[in-house]
Amino acid sequence: MLILNGFSSATLALITPPFLPKGGKALSQSGPDGLASITLPLPISAERGFAPALALHYSSGGGNGPFGVGWSCATMSIARRTSHGVPQYNDSDEFLGPDGEVLVQTLSTGDAPNPVTCFAYGDVSFPQSYTVTRYQPRTESS
C-alpha cells in the first residue's frame, strides 16, 4: 500500500480535485444588479463515512472577508433561536439547525426527553459526567 504524507492510496483516491464549471457558466449574473458570482466546491475527504459539502463562494459585490475580497465560505452551525426575543440560556430556548429548521429533543417511548449521562466516549474517560440530549429537525425532509 502506498502512503503519501500520512494518507493511504485508498484515501487519496476518494479525494476529488477542484475544478471550474464548464460551458461558459463559470461566472453568472445574479439578477438585475449585474453582480458576477461563482461557487467552487472544495475537495473534502470522507472521514467515518461523513464528508461535509464545503464550497468557496465569490460575489463581485461582496466585501472583505477571511478568504479575501468578495470570497466567503458558509459553514454549518447550530444557533439559538432569537426571533422571539433574547435567549434565556435555559431549557426554554429553541435551537436552529444548519438549514434554519427548528430542532426538537428526541423523545423516548414515553414522550419524555431522552437525555443520557456519559462518562466516556469510546476509549476516552471523562474527568466528570456529561448529560447528552439528542435533537432532530422538527420537520423531517425526504
- For cell 503519501, name the residue: 4
Question: What is the per-residue pLDDT across 55-102, written as a single tens digit (0 to 9) for each?
Answer: 898 888 888 988 899 999 888 788 999 888 898 898 888 899 888 889
Query: Residue 128: what pLDDT?
Result: 94
> Would you say the pTM of this structure is higher than 0.75?
no
In sequence order, which residues have a C-beta less than 8 Å from that of residue 85 and are 6 or more positions away?
none
Average pLDDT over the chain reads 78
pLDDT at 18: 61
CA 83 to chain centroid, in Å, comes to 21
Q: What is the pLDDT of residue 12?
A: 54
Domains of the chain, residue spans: 15-72, 79-135
